[in-house]
Structure 1
Amino acid sequence: MSSLRLHILLVHFLCCVFASSFITINPLVFGLAACRPDQIQALLQFKNEFESDGCNLNDYFHGVTCDNTTGAVTKLHLPNGCLTGVIKSNSILFSLRHLRHLNLSHNNFTSSSSLPSGFSNLNKLEVLSLSSNGFQGQVPFSFSNLTKLSQFDLSHNDLTGGFQLVQNLTKLSTLDLSYNHFSGTIPSSLLLTLPLLSHLDLRGNYLTGSIEVPSSPSSRLEHLFLGHNHFDGQILEPISKLTTLKELVLSFINVSYPIDLRDFSSLKSLLNLELSGNILSATTSLISGSDVPPNLYRLMMKGCNINEFPKFLKTLQNLERLDLSDNQIKGKVPEWLWSLPRLSIVSLNNNSFNDFDGSLHKSSVTMLDLSFNNFTGSLPDPPLSIKLFLASRNSFTGNIPLSTCDRSYLDALDLSYNNFSGAIPQCLSKFKILNLRKNNLHGIIPNAFSSSSPLQTLDVGYNRISGQLPSSLVNCSSLRFLSVDHNNIKDLFPFWLKVLPDLQVLTLSSNTFHGPISPPQGPLGFPELRILDLSDNKFTGSLSPDYFVNWSGSSSNKMYGDGEMYMGDYTNDLYSYFYGLDLQYKGLNMENKMVNTFYTAIDFSGNNFSGQIPESIGEIPQELGALSFLSYINVSYNQLKGEIPKGTQISGQPESSFEGNAGLCGIPLQESCFGTSEPPTQWEKQVDDEEEGEVLNWRGVAIGYWPGLLFGLAIGYVIAPEWLVLIIGLNKGINR
């Protein structure tokens, strides 16, 4: 019987055994035709050692390559998140001794897992990537047996120890140990024993001391990443000997002395230099172009205590990306900056700039952040090639320039928190992100949204806009965030927006919306809605008992995929744009904060809801008591009646959330529904105290950069559990 016939028979057998999942595998399509039957069986057995329900078998086998001659597996590259569990020391994986390429990165191995020594059995490995798996403890010494490794990646785990683990790996060209807990100094023997090393990433560890470099280095090192460590010795002078470097990342190295840019003058091949989070020498603004590497295309000096615009930048004719944010630079932005021929991404936010010396419109810049400065007067015409333009938190005045409509590539425009006046531009349909919040704009929102509109975010809150919501918004099928709060809009509740499949945030507060908010029949709709703010309008009528029946689905996080913490736009490779909301919780005001993806809120306060139980809003729908993600409810100061719904999320609320409703009874109120008064228990008081403490643990952070250029709308965020805020009283959870 031929080997091919035997192979096909085995595939048929496996299809019967694993019919529910394996039946779609075509070995000829997925590169398995060259694999021996025992190798396919070993791969299936390895997968079955874990929970892998979410792992598509087609994708699993798509990362498999076998040798055409021997039929042995030589490459295994698992899809992200494929396996959950612990890699055991006797795993079948370690029997695949012909593996040369193994990538198990970004899986869900148990956080307490240590690295099994069995990996050392795979001594033919040339590429090994185990990043982002939560491995803990020291790397087994037996890993030093993997002497054929050229690429070794253990990044983003919780591993400890020093550099003994790589002392025998003399063929390494790429070594990534970043974001672990490795400690100690970097020995000079590292470069001597690894002569082929070109890429070394040690960021985010606990490295101390200085860096030792051989007196006569013959290094091939081109990419060196040392940021976010705790060096307390001299590291710049040794680094200056590594003249082959093209990329050097020293952000937040926590040295106790100022960094002098002239220390890098010997690195003539350097293209990328990142120094953010360090203090630069006071002479930074005075040094000449000959004192810095001449071919830099990327220079990051965020938060470096710079107080004068660096003049040496004028000589960097290859510069493409520049970050001078979070410094103390005053005065005008020099005209020569916009003449740099390749300049593309510029961040000047959070300084004290007040004007421009010359115009911007002929610049090659495509992304520009001018936020959080002291600019006044008219907004300059943006560069012709601009794609993202952020100018929030300044004092710009006048009309929004018509040139913003003429920029054919511009899809993200943030002019919030300025003093612009006049009408909203007619071209708003062209934008993907448009934020005009807190200006003095008037007139109507143009009814000009076409079916091809890419709009995802529209915020025109806190202006003087009148009229109605434009019905053409229904064409914006990608719309996620819509805020028109604190204006003069007079309209009915926009039930028609429920056809938008991705709408998450709808804030209509402090306008003159009126009429009922219940659809003619059934629940509200809006399948992805997470935040609904209708406060301070003139809505009337009642809610049907099943009004909130769909809100249990709002606790899902499928919109953002894996690992995204905040609501926003993550579709661009170079920036992420976060939604900002004004939040108020138990008297704590938080203006324009980034919002956790699990955050869910409803505010119906300050309207004219009326009626009788069970038809009216006076009956709190009982399904709210069963919502496991409900963390805070406030229905104070209404005309509500009946028993407060039972449930751990409801009964754990403070008494103040229900006061001012003569007809309400039940826990946590003292009024019993059986005609007696009961004092609050010590447990109820404790819950209230704990919630107050939880809110005070919210923290603020600055706009960040990772891993490319990360622009953000807000300067803070809310860390919250999976929760829902319901407010139908005087106190507000969202105060727009």
Structure 2
Amino acid sequence: MPSFSERTMMIWSLCLIISLSNRILVIASSSRHLCRPYQKDALLEFKNEFHYNVMAGKTESWRNNTDCCSWKGISCDPKTGNVVELDLQDSFLNGPLRSNSSLFRLQHLHTLDLGLNNLTGIIPASISNLKYLRNLTLYSCNLFGKIPSSLGNLSYLTDLDLSVNDFNGELPGSVGYLNRLTELRLVSANLSGKFPLALLNLSELTWIDLRSNKFEGMLPSNMSSLSKLIYFEISGNSFSGSVPLSLFMIPTLVDLDLGRNDFTGPLEIGDISSPSKLRVLYLGENNFNGPVPRSLSKLVSLVSLDLSFWNTRRGKVDFTIFLHLKSLRLLHLSNMNTKTMVDLSLLSHLMSLGDLDLSGINLKINPTLNLPSPIKFLALSSCSIVEFPKFIQSQTRLIYLDISANQIEGQVPEWLWKLPVLWYVNISQNSFYGFEGSEDVIQNSAKIMLDISSNTFQNPFPLLPVSLMYFSCSDNRFSGEISREICKLVYLDTLVLSNNNFNGSIPRCFENFNTTLSVLNLRNNSISGVFPEESIGAYLQSLEVGHNKISGGLPKSLINCTRLEFLNVEDNMFNDKFPFWLRLLPNLQILVLRSNQFHGKIFSFGASLIFPKLRIFDISRNLFTGVLPSDYFAGWSAMSSDVGIVDSTPVRILGRGSGFYHRSVALTNKGLNMELVGSGFKIYKSIDVSGNRIEGDIPISIGLLKELIVLNMSNNVFTGGIPPSLASLTNLQSLDLSQNRLSGEIPPELGKLTFLARMNFSYNMLEGPIPQGTQIQSQNSSSFAENPGLCGFPLEETCGGKEEEATKQEEDGEKEEKDQVISWISAAIGYLPGVLGGLTIGHILYSYKYGWFMRIFHYFT
């Protein structure tokens, strides 16, 4: 019989075996049946809520006969089998996130990442059903509408990212209930209003990123209540007033970016007694004035400092302040408005400096200067430099060089082509006339972007690095046929040859670029002949060939350019019918056919024009004829409302403003010729059909285009009355209906258009009293000339006893306008899906373009 101790040992051993067996069974069971069936069903239903234009990404691996915890993008709790993480970033999801989505049955989710998908729609309030969420990422999902206040119910949330969407309104105050939140990212989310005061309640916040929104007003004075804040970035908004001193009193602050706002001031940093942790301080592109604070020298941990566009009011700057900042890697002091001349050798003590921008400051550069070699980015634009800086020769790590807008003459030195990693060179606006160097040295150079515009280059055309992707030689003295040397640039993305004296035809070898070229600008030369069809590639986004002698038809191969945004062929000899097939280009924003020999009707019963993104439509000074139907403008959504179309302005290269391509277009506004460049495209929405032979009534659907700034229908054969629906164009600044055959009275409602600064009704058959209104009454009498039946100020002919009749007509006009508004609202609603589809494609294009530059950047850095 076993002893007591032996029995005890046996009992303990048996218990251990049973315990281990149970554990093994549990593990085996959970490994076989880890995924809970109802959660698997919810995931499969969620997958089926979307349509997939391409492969299904991570969800492609989801199969009903497999364990959902093994699916891509899924993580489960090993103890319970609950799905706790869903990561479907960039998984080609197309469709809205429904309010009753099966997603919200996954009650145990801790992490949800749906970023980089096309979830066009709103964030449903039912998102709050996921009450245990800690991390929520909806980055770049084409979301719009208001951010739901129900987000405030996600009390466990620590990380929230809603960046790169198209919301409207303010951040809801309920965000102030997220007392566990540590990181908040709302970059480029289209939010507006004041600084969200609710954030001051979130004492755990370490990261706030509100870049590139529409926030305005002053920052609150008690910013120091965010006592754990490490990263605070609000650049690219409209914040104003002075920067609160309390911001610099946050002891944990490491990264502070207030750039590109409207802050004023002198800047007060305060008494910095204890060592500051601040490593990044961006204050550039604001309205700061007065002396640069000497207390900056105490921020000895600074790695990056940007004080660009500081207004010293032509005062002196003590540049020795910066010598105390021994750890500086980035120093931007451009356009400081100081009369101080800086000896560049002063900065030779900053041994870690890798990014230096002194543009707009007068520099003294000693020929024997030797700066430390880590410099990768160097911008010395507009610095009154008269010789090519020789110290650059030793900068073997240099990637980016901008010495534009100086006074340098002669040839570009051969050693520049030998710098091993230099890929961006901007020498524009100088007096260079040639390149030094042999064919092998130049053509094998690693340069990717080269801007030699606004110099004195002339024939022979220079040799070029074959690796070029961006090349601009506009505003030089080149002549003759376009050099075939350009055709060797097989990686070319952007080619700008404008404002030279090139003649002859467009080279057939341009077909070499049709898988790469996105921008082609041949504007203002003497190029002739027919535009070769094979030179048009499907990647084209911008085509400018205005002010040449090109003839024939518009190349129909443009129909394949689904990314085309900008098309300008003005002032040529094109002889063609109206290109109705352009309506198939979903991203077209600018269309200029002005001053050619286009002819025929601009309306076809089988091809109604629907331009959801069009902002500028100029077909003036051609030979167009025919009648426009009343619903002609019903599908022009971008002019009907502010729908946030992706801008035509170019993407900045590495955040710098000097090295990118600017589109430009001329238009007539308020009777004056003007040129829009860059950001002007976002503001101006115009229609110019003047100087043709279009007849019939002015389409009353013109009243739908509420964002229109300029409308010019002069010099045609329009008949009938002026539609009262024009009174709906409350943003209109210029209206020209002169030299037609319009009859009847000028609608009294037009007197209410407060922005209408210039109008012209002359040379018609109008009659009756000129409407009363400040804007109309301020016009010159010539705006109403040659209308025998018109009377009233500013004409000399008085209307006599017609006041009562005018009042009655005004009342009738208001009734008619209401009827028209009701009639046309239904027509406009029908085109909303087209707008939303266009927005989606525009965003994808932008992402593609931005990613192209960033891939280059990461490759070299």
Same fold (TM over 0.5): yes
- Is 1:622 matched up with 2:708? no
2:743 corresponds in structure 1 to 664
Could you tell me how far 1:643 is from its partner in structure 2?
A: 1.6
Structure with a larger share of its residues in helix: 2
- Structure 1 distance, partners of 2:373, 2:548, is 48
- Is 1:579 matched up with 2:660? no
Cα distance change, pair 571–523 in 1 and its aligned pair in 2 (3 A):
farther
1:685 corresponds in structure 2 to 776
Q: Deviations over 1:507-563 (max 9, x none)?
A: 3333333333321446334443333333333333333343333335544565744xx
- Is 1:144 matched up with 2:144? no
Could you tell me how far 1:586 is from its partner in structure 2?
A: 4.2
For the 8 Å contact 1:504–1:530, the answer to whether it is kept is yes
Cα distance change, pair 289–316 in 1 and its aligned pair in 2 (3 A):
farther
1:318 corresponds in structure 2 to 397
Cα distance change, pair 240–425 in 1 and its aligned pair in 2 (3 A):
same
Superposed, which structure 2 residues align to 1:210-289 within 5 Å? 210-212=292-294, 219-231=300-312, 232=315, 234-280=317-363, 283-284=364-365, 286-289=366-369
Could you tell me how far 1:454 is from its partner in structure 2?
A: 0.6
- Structure 2 distance, partners of 1:651, 1:139, is 38
- Residue type of the alignment partner of 2:460: S
For the 8 Å contact 2:706–2:728, the answer to whether it is kept is no
Gaps of 5+ in 2: 1-76, 84-96, 114-127, 748-760, 784-849, 854-861
- Is 1:327 matched up with 2:327? no
Identity within the alignment, %: 33
1:361 corresponds in structure 2 to 443
- Structure 2 distance, partners of 1:679, 1:151, is 60
- Structure 1 distance, partners of 2:183, 2:733, is 58
1:389 corresponds in structure 2 to 471
1:376 corresponds in structure 2 to 458
For the 8 Å contact 1:523–1:548, the answer to whether it is kept is no
- Structure 2 distance, partners of 1:100, 1:326, is 45
1:718 corresponds in structure 2 to none
Match of 2:253 among 172, 181, 190: 172
Cα distance change, pair 152–371 in 1 and its aligned pair in 2 (3 A):
same
1:126 corresponds in structure 2 to 206
Cα distance change, pair 316–550 in 1 and its aligned pair in 2 (3 A):
same
Match of 1:414 among 496, 499, 509: 496
Corresponding residue SS for 1:355? strand
- Structure 2 distance, partners of 1:486, 1:478, is 24
- Structure 2 distance, partners of 1:560, 1:402, is 38
For the 8 Å contact 1:223–1:245, the answer to whether it is kept is yes
For the 8 Å contact 1:330–1:353, the answer to whether it is kept is yes
- Structure 1 distance, partners of 2:668, 2:609, is 25
- Structure 2 distance, partners of 1:631, 1:100, is 45
Match of 1:549 among 611, 634, 646: 634
Corresponding residue SS for 2:486? helix
Cα distance change, pair 548–197 in 1 and its aligned pair in 2 (3 A):
closer
Could you tell me how far 1:345 is from its partner in structure 2?
A: 0.7
Cα distance change, pair 103–327 in 1 and its aligned pair in 2 (3 A):
same
- Is 1:434 matched up with 2:520? yes
- Structure 1 distance, partners of 2:245, 2:556, is 66
1:730 corresponds in structure 2 to none
CA-atom RMSD in angstroms: 4.4
Superposed, which structure 2 residues align to 1:619-658 within 5 Å? 619-625=697-703, 627-649=705-727, 657-658=736-737
Corresponding residue SS for 1:265? helix
For the 8 Å contact 2:531–2:554, the answer to whether it is kept is yes
Match of 2:588 among 491, 503, 513: 503
For normalisation by structure 1, the TM-score amounts to 0.76
Could you tell me how far 1:449 is from its partner in structure 2?
A: 5.5
- Structure 2 distance, partners of 1:102, 1:654, is 41
For the 8 Å contact 1:671–1:678, the answer to whether it is kept is no
For the 8 Å contact 1:301–1:324, the answer to whether it is kept is yes
Could you tell me how far 1:417 is from its partner in structure 2?
A: 1.0
- Structure 2 distance, partners of 1:311, 1:107, is 45
2:9 corresponds in structure 1 to none
2:184 corresponds in structure 1 to 102
For the 8 Å contact 2:147–2:171, the answer to whether it is kept is no
For the 8 Å contact 1:555–1:600, the answer to whether it is kept is no
- Structure 1 distance, partners of 2:610, 2:107, is 45
- Residue type of the alignment partner of 1:389: F
- Residue type of the alignment partner of 1:273: L
Cα distance change, pair 544–27 in 1 and its aligned pair in 2 (3 A):
same
Give the length in aligned residue pairs.
645
- Is 1:76 matched up with 2:167? no
For the 8 Å contact 1:485–1:507, the answer to whether it is kept is yes
Match of 2:145 among 54, 60, 65: 54
Corresponding residue SS for 1:584? strand
Cα distance change, pair 214–640 in 1 and its aligned pair in 2 (3 A):
closer
Corresponding residue SS for 2:558? helix
Corresponding residue SS for 1:134? strand
For the 8 Å contact 1:303–1:325, the answer to whether it is kept is yes
- Structure 2 distance, partners of 1:92, 1:671, is 60
Corresponding residue SS for 2:776? helix
Cα distance change, pair 163–498 in 1 and its aligned pair in 2 (3 A):
closer
Cα distance change, pair 442–93 in 1 and its aligned pair in 2 (3 A):
closer
- Structure 2 distance, partners of 1:182, 1:134, is 16
Q: Which has the higher contact order (CA 8 A, sep 6+)?
A: 1
Could you tell me how far 1:269 is from its partner in structure 2?
A: 1.2
Could you tell me how far 1:635 is from its partner in structure 2?
A: 3.8
For the 8 Å contact 2:134–2:158, the answer to whether it is kept is no
Cα distance change, pair 465–219 in 1 and its aligned pair in 2 (3 A):
same
Cα distance change, pair 93–22 in 1 and its aligned pair in 2 (3 A):
farther
- Structure 1 distance, partners of 2:701, 2:174, is 49
Q: Deviations over 1:433-489 (max 9, x none)?
A: 111111122221112157x62111122222222232232222222222222232233
- Is 1:399 matched up with 2:481? yes
For the 8 Å contact 1:389–1:413, the answer to whether it is kept is yes
1:535 corresponds in structure 2 to 620
For the 8 Å contact 2:527–2:549, the answer to whether it is kept is yes
For the 8 Å contact 2:186–2:209, the answer to whether it is kept is yes
- Is 1:306 matched up with 2:346? no
- Structure 1 distance, partners of 2:670, 2:103, is 54
- Residue type of the alignment partner of 2:233: D
- Is 1:296 matched up with 2:390? no
For the 8 Å contact 2:639–2:705, the answer to whether it is kept is no
For the 8 Å contact 1:477–1:502, the answer to whether it is kept is yes
